[in-house]
Amino acid sequence: MLFRDALLDGQRVDLRVVGATIGAVAPAGALQPLPGEDVSLGGMLTPPSAEPHVHLDAVLLGERVPNVSGTLREGIANWASLRPTLTHEDVLERARTVVGWYEKHGTLRIRTHVDTGSRVAVEALLALRAELTGRVELQVVAFPQEGILRAPGRRQAWEDAVALGCDAVGAIPHFERTTEEGWQSVKMAFDLAERHGARVDLHCDETDDPGSRNLEVVCAQTLDRGFGGRVVAGHCTAMHSYPNPYAAKVVELVAAAGVQVVANPLDNVVLQGRYDSYPRRRGITRVDALWAAGASVGIGHDSVMDPWYRLGTANLLDAAYMLVHVAQLTGEVEMARVFRTLHHENHLPFGAAPTIAAGQPATLLWYSASDPIEALRTRACPRVYRDGVQVGVQVGA
Ligand SMILES: [Zn+2]
C-alpha cells in the first residue's frame, strides 16, 4: 500500500506500508508504485487520535430520561435517578457501541471516567478495558460524581474503585461542601494515587465561579509530590471568569507543574453561563493563554448523548470545531494546532503520541482533506489503519 504526496507534519511525503509495518517514508515523488500496489493520492497522514475525557458509563442515556431544561442541574438529577438501574450488560453494551463510533473516527485510545457511586459501572468498564486489549487502549478514571466528603460512604466507594484497578484517581473539588473540603479532596486524590501508583485526573473548577480556586492546589500538589506529566485537570472553566492577574498566575503555575488542562468545549459551552443573564459567558478555559505559557492542553468530547449533553457523535473533530469557535482560535496557525492536538497532546494521558516513521506499526489515519483546516471544516471520517489493516473494512470485500 502506498500513500503518495500526503501531508505529514507539514511536509509532503510518500509512505509505503509493508504488511503491518511502515516500510518507508520519503519526500513526495521519491517512491514509485509497485505492480498491483494500492495507491492513495494526496490527503493527510496522522497518528490515531486519542480521547482524554469521556464518560462511557453515561453514554446514550440521554434518551432514556430526557433533560427537558438542558441544564447541568437536571442532568445531575437524571443521572442520579438512572444510576441505581444500571446493569453490567447495559453499561457494557452502551460503552461498546460508542467505542465503535470512536474507532470509526480514528480514536484508538480512550480515557473514560466512571462514577464510583456505581460499583456496577466500575466493574463493567474495567471488564471492557480487558475486552478491548489489542484494539482500543482504554483507561478508566475513578470519578466520584457526587464528591467524596459530602456524605458517608462515598469516600469508601471511591477508594474501592481505585483498588479494583482504575488507571487514574478522579475528584470533583468544586462540588464538595466547602472550599477547604475541596482542597482536602484534591490532597486525598494525590494520596490515593500515590498509594496505588495511579495517575490523577480531576474534574477541576467546572463552574463560572471566579472564587473556585482548586487548580492552584492541584498544581502545588503536583510540584510537591513530583507528579508532573501524570496529572490532568479537566474543564477548568472558572479560569474563564478569573480576574486577569490571578489567571496569569495560575496559567504560569500550570505550565511549571506540568499539569495538562483538558478543555471540553461541547458540554461546557452549553452547561456553563447558565446563571448569567446577558452578556452570557462562554464556559471555556483559557486555551490561548495556556498555549502562550507553554502549558499542555487536551481536547475532550466529554459526553455522547448522555444526561448532560443530548448531542454528540464521538467524533473528536466536532469538539475541536466547537473549540475554534468558542475560544476564537480561528487564526490559521491556531486551527492547525487545534487539529494537531487530537493526534498529539491528547495522547499525553497515555504516554507519548505514536510516531509515524519507517519500522513503526502501520497504525495511522489518512484524511482525504488536503490540510488541517479543511479537515476541521468537513469533519469527515478518516480512513483508519491498525497494523496495516483498514478498520471497518472486511478483508476481501
Ligand atoms: Zn467530565
* Active-site hit among 103, 146, 159, 206: 206
Whether 396 is in a domain gets the answer no
Q: Distance between CA 106 and CA 48 in Å, rounded?
A: 5
Task: State the pLDDT at residue 397.
Answer: 39
CATH number of the domain encompassing residue 17: 2.30.40.10
Residues 210 and 194 in one domain: yes
pLDDT tens by residue, 2-59 = 999 999 999 999 999 999 999 999 999 999 999 999 999 999 999 999 999 999 999 9
Residues 277 and 175 in one domain: yes
The alpha carbon of 138 and the centre of ligand 1 are apart by a number of angstroms equal to 16
Provide the grid cell at 132. 478491548
Find, among 94, 77, 84, 75, the residue nearest to 117 by Cα: 84
Range of the domain at 42: 2-47+354-390
Task: State the pLDDT at residue 72.
Answer: 86
Residues 19 and 75 in one domain: no
Residue 265, preceding bond cis, omega within 30 degrees?
A: no
Residues 384 and 242 in one domain: no
Residue 77, SS3 per DSSP? helix
Whether 322 is in a domain gets the answer yes
Question: Could you give the C-alpha distances from 215 to 79, 112, 172, in angstroms and in order?
Answer: 26, 21, 11
Find, among 111, 113, 123, the residue nearest to 163 by Cα: 123
The alpha carbon of 302 and the centre of ligand 1 are apart by a number of angstroms equal to 5
Whether 114 is in a domain gets the answer yes
Q: Would you say 248 and 286 are in contact if contact means Cβ atoms under 8 Å apart? A: no
The alpha carbon of 321 and the centre of ligand 1 are apart by a number of angstroms equal to 19
152-158 long-range CB contacts below 8 Å, 24 or more apart? Answer: 154/116, 154/117, 155/188, 157/116, 157/117, 157/119, 158/116, 158/192
Residues 128 and 249 in one domain: yes
Q: Distance between CA 312 and CA 302 in Å, rounded?
A: 9
Task: State the pLDDT at residue 395.
Answer: 54
- Concatenate the DSSP letters of all residues of 192-234 into one string: HHHHHT-EEEEEE--SS-TT---HHHHHHHHHHHT-TTSEEEE
Whether 395 is in a domain gets the answer no
Whether 195 is in a domain gets the answer yes
Whether 397 is in a domain gets the answer no
Planar angle of CA 314, 317, 319, nearest 5 degrees: 75
Residues 252 and 227 in one domain: yes
The alpha carbon of 225 and the centre of ligand 1 are apart by a number of angstroms equal to 25
The alpha carbon of 37 and the centre of ligand 1 are apart by a number of angstroms equal to 45
Q: Distance between CA 147 and CA 303 in Å, rounded?
A: 19
Provide the grid cell at 117. 457511586
The alpha carbon of 289 and the centre of ligand 1 are apart by a number of angstroms equal to 22
Residues 178 and 245 in one domain: yes
Q: Distance between CA 52 and CA 170 in Å, rounded?
A: 13
Give the chain's residues under pLDDT 70: 394-397
The alpha carbon of 391 and the centre of ligand 1 are apart by a number of angstroms equal to 28
Residues 366 and 342 in one domain: no
Planar angle of CA 295, 301, 302, nearest 5 degrees: 95
At a CB cut-off of 8 Å and minimum separation 6, what does 342 contact? 49, 50, 299, 316, 317, 320
Provide the grid cell at 378. 468537513
Q: Would you say 348 and 37 are in contact if contact means Cβ atoms under 8 Å apart? A: no
Whether 329 is in a domain gets the answer yes
Residues 248 and 290 in one domain: yes
- Catalytic residue list contains 206: yes
Residues 32 and 176 in one domain: no
Query: What domain count does the chain have?
Result: 2
Residues 346 and 225 in one domain: yes
Whether 62 is in a domain gets the answer yes
Residues 385 and 366 in one domain: yes
Provide the grid cell at 371. 490540510
Residues forming a β-bridge with 387:
none
Per DSSP, which regions of the chain are E strands?
A: 2-8, 11-18, 21-27, 39-41, 44-46, 49-54, 107-115, 137-143, 168-169, 199-204, 231-235, 260-263, 296-299, 364-367, 383-386, 389-390
CATH number of the domain encompassing residue 110: 3.20.20.140
Find, among 85, 37, 42, 49, the residue nearest to 64 by Cα: 85
Residues in the 5 Å CB sphere of ion ligand 1: 302
